[in-house]
Amino acid sequence: MSFQPTGLGLSETLYVAGRVFIGAACLAMAGTAIARLFRPRAPALAEAGLHPATLAVAAALALSAAAVLSLRDAYDNTVLRAADPILPGSWYWLGFDLLLPLLGLLLMRALDERDLALVRLAEQAVTDPLTGLRNRRGFLDAGVAAITRAARDGVPVSVVALDLDRFKAVNDTHGHAAGDAVLRGAASAVLSGLRAGDLAGRLGGEEFALLLPGAGLRDASAMAERLRVALPVAVPHPTAGARVTASFGVAELDPVAEAGHAARVLEAAIAAADGALYVAKRGGRDRVALADRVPA
């Protein structure tokens, strides 16, 4: 036996059921929009300070208003005017209003796609497109956070700068496509030698940098030596018989400064590692040179 509210005919029952469905669906869509505001932001969005909430709030308010109006209409026809027939115009509006949950669903999908696009843009802003490593900006941003954590934990941090030897000759002789292949291979070799928590970035051209939380000068220089040995094996040179090599500079810093000084300390460590790197270049390339300790 089908249920019909007391005093309502089949037509009125269908109309009220449609209104209740619209109200419930709009409330569900509004709840989905509100729930978006409490989702954890993707790291890339968090670093960029982005929290795309305006449209979600507007959608929740509009859908909530539509739900209230639809449920109010159901109440009006069920209680206040139960004896009145449903006019043709009301059916037209019911059919139109049935599109509201669909529009809400499409809006939620559009917001998800917009958020995904923002995440991609934020990631592109801190990522080197050729190697997939952090670019200079991304390396510095992540490095400041890592140094701050290391300062809180009281552990050492070291920076390794490395520059591919005679890389210009690869581009000049074999073209930029071959040079790009060498850069991608070097980036892959660098990543394969890192520990959990280590950071790698391409600072520009053929120069890369590593940030090694928890590693003092001795441990960092040992890692640099391992990478120096592994690089010619992992990365083929486009010239037969030639080897891809790199020069390394290592600097240690003592992360005991205030958190606000982390950016300055990191820049100083990179500069010190760069200085040691060029000592390695002048000393014959394909070697590791150490810098003096970088004061915090």
- Start-end of H helices in the chain: 10-36, 43-48, 54-75, 88-97, 99-125, 136-153, 167-174, 176-192, 217-234, 262-282
Angle between helices 10-36 and 54-75 (to 10 degrees): 160
Token pair for residue 76? 């009006």
Distance between CA 65 and CA 29 in Å, rounded? 12
Q: Using CA atoms, how far apart are residues 27 and 68, in angstroms rounded to an integer?
A: 9
Q: What does the block give as tokens for 20?
A: 């209740």
Catalytic residue among 47, 113, 123, 206: 206
Helix, strand, coil percentages (3-state) for the chain, rounded to 5, are 60, 10, 25
Cα separations (Å) of 262 from 60, 110, 201, 258? 41, 39, 17, 7
CA neighbor of 128 nearest in space, from 192, 214, 198, 191: 191
Note if 113 is an active site residue.
Answer: no
Q: Which residues are catalytic?
A: 206
